[in-house]
A and B are shown apart, each in its own frame.
Chain A
Amino acid sequence: MPSRAHLPAMLTILGFVFAFLYVPISVLVALSFNEGGLPTAWTGFSVKWYGALAQNGDILSAALNTLIVAVASTLLATIVGTLLAIGVEIRRRKGKLLESLIFAPMIIPDIVLAIALLSFFSLLDVTMGLHTIVLSHVVFNLAFVCSVVRARLKTFDWSVVEASADLGAPVVTTFRRITLPLLMPAVIAGALLAFTLSVDEFIIAFFTSGAGRASITLPMQIFSMIRFGVTPEINALATLVIAVSVVALALSQRLNRGLVGA
């Protein structure tokens, strides 16, 4: 235990750390409501940049693409990742190698994964587009969903699965009526995490989107706009992305906490 005398010093450090983390974001959010649009002078509160955003066809189509990629990759990763987690848990006595292989995509740098996926799709001569982005996002989302569900499974009481079989339920019924409902908070938490990760993923999407504007996602759109300087529109867009991410993360954490108590 640190002594009471250290408390003011610790609070100061804490303040600096939080300032370091959140001041840039706060500035960005504030500027998105700046009427004048200049980063140097506050000229009044306005939501006009959000309006401008809604008029920008490029941004809207990019946002739609991102939504498609995020929803599709989340769905796929959630289904496969949940089943994978259960399978690995049941077979866990076979060793740790399997587990490390599953979680590798969480650790491998995105740029490496991006290059690998690009080479892979080129090798197979796949025409790239939204579908390849979806598949690529499944690669890392799978690992995240799997790890969240695995964490829940560590404290899972398997005797309820045996009890279900004992009471006459076939395997599929047991999964549908017992295993899945009990894992559902973790499954949803994993899905929300996957969704968040997919929404703001840039490098892998950039490498696997193929040529042309058709499959540009939101982060790619922002990147291309930012080459001409930070516009107030980008601030507004970034603020919206933050809002979506924060809501998804908060939901995910809340569900994870909920299941510890259950």
Chain B
Amino acid sequence: MTAAQTLLSIRSAVKRFGAVTAVDRVSLDIRENEFFALLGASGSGKTTLLRMLAGFETPDAGQILLDGRDIARVPPNKRPVNLMFQSYALFPHLTVRGNIAYGLEMEKRSKAEIDRRVEEILETIQLAPFATRKPDQLSGGQRQRVALARALVKRPRLLLLDEPLGALDKKLRGTMQLELKRLQHEVGITFILVTHDQEEALVMADRIAILKDGALLQCDTPHRVYEHPADRFAADFIGEMNFFPGEMTAEGLRGLSGQVIKADGNGGPRPASKALAAVRPERLHLDVRAGDNRLEGRVVAMAYHGLDLQLHVRTALSPEPLLVRITADAAERQPIKEGDDILLGWSPQDTRLFPA
């Protein structure tokens, strides 16, 4: 991505509901034409943040700058921002065309322009034959596309998507993820996606912000948040992660068994403090190389997933069995069965250290 301009700037936004702080001093800069994801579990404040951007909630403190103008107190109908609702919120008494035209009618566009733009977007989302149907005569996927078209047709500066694929089945979701991404490139509008599904965020977003308990944990590219999580919550939330508890020493982390786990490339917690070493399941391997961290363990369970083989391995370094993913190829080279004692290795470069 080139040095694109900042479109939206959230500065120390705070929102409280009674004693609960739903959004706690969140600051984010979102760039023009970016596909940005707000990722968090339920109660992380991501939806509240989104509703503040749409204008349905007003921040108790902080600023929301869109094109440099503070819109924190501008009502929803006066913002160049549109929201695609999780429930789609289509108007049940209007046809597909009526739903899509509604927002343009509010802008007092001419009849000719409305007709032209509605037809255009109907083509884009491939729903032209369904223009005269009512929402209850559409499938879930079609409704989702109408909701998207209704928001997009207004050509907002910013499109907000609240769990847009949540109601779709798994297969359709995969198709729609790519579809949304393609569409975003096509229309050149900045998208902010709210999701609890980390895979969805990884697949679709240019950058991801991870929220926990209303606070921002990390904001980075999918690759960075996956490979270099900011802390153990981020590490746990994105993908799968094995943790080894222990204490920091000069060489690395001394684990439960006394074995020292080496880690490269990050400063890590200060010496003599309680800490966690972490490694992704797919980074553990059976062909141990020189310089690797080594670990013996016993396979207690295994599951075949087609592309890979998932092992649960009990070791002396952690109370829980480790999760190990080895490729189908590796499994063929070295057949494994339950109860086997195996030697695992992983590179210090793939090891992350976090304060406990």
> Residues of A with Cβ closer than 8 Å to B?
157, 159-160, 162-170, 173, 177-178, 181-182, 262
Set A164, A170, A182: member contacting B92, Cβ < 8 A: A182
- Cross-chain contact A165 with B87 (CB below 8 angstroms): no
A220 to B76, CA, bound (A): 55
CB distance from A35 to the nearest CB of B (A): 52
Q: Which residue of A lies closest to B98 (CB)?
A: A177
Q: Is B93 an interface residue (CB 8 A)?
A: yes
A166 to B54, CA, bound (A): 7
Q: Which of B89, B107, B151 neighbours the largest number of chain A CB atoms within 10 Å of its CB?
A: B89
- Cross-chain contact A162 with B107 (CB below 8 angstroms): no
Given contacts A164-B102, A166-B54, A173-B106, contact A159 B75 (CB under 8 A): no
- Cross-chain contact A163 with B91 (CB below 8 angstroms): yes
A182 to B81, CA, bound (A): 25
A182 to B136, CA, bound (A): 14
CB distance from A162 to the nearest CB of B (A): 6
A-B contact pairs, 17 of them (CB 8 A): A157-B87, A160-B89, A160-B90, A160-B92, A162-B83, A162-B85, A163-B90, A165-B55, A166-B81, A166-B82, A166-B83, A167-B77, A167-B82, A168-B77, A168-B103, A169-B106, A181-B93
- Cross-chain contact B89 with A162 (CB below 8 angstroms): yes
Given contacts A165-B77, A166-B54, contact A159 B85 (CB under 8 A): yes
The residues of A that contact B226 with a CB separation of less than 8 Å are none
- Cross-chain contact B106 with A168 (CB below 8 angstroms): yes
- Cross-chain contact A168 with B107 (CB below 8 angstroms): yes
- Cross-chain contact A169 with B85 (CB below 8 angstroms): no
CB distance from A195 to the nearest CB of B (A): 25
Set B77, B87, B103: member contacting A170, Cβ < 8 A: B77
Q: Is B280 an interface residue (CB 8 A)?
A: no
The residues of B that contact A168 with a CB separation of less than 8 Å are 77-78, 103, 106-107, 154
CB distance from B75 to the nearest CB of A (A): 7
- Cross-chain contact A162 with B76 (CB below 8 angstroms): yes
- Cross-chain contact B93 with A162 (CB below 8 angstroms): no
The residues of B that contact A163 with a CB separation of less than 8 Å are 83, 85, 89-91, 150
Q: Which residue of A lies closest to B106 (CB)?
A: A168
A157 to B91, CA, bound (A): 10
The residues of B that contact A165 with a CB separation of less than 8 Å are 55-56, 75-77
A200 to B297, CA, bound (A): 86
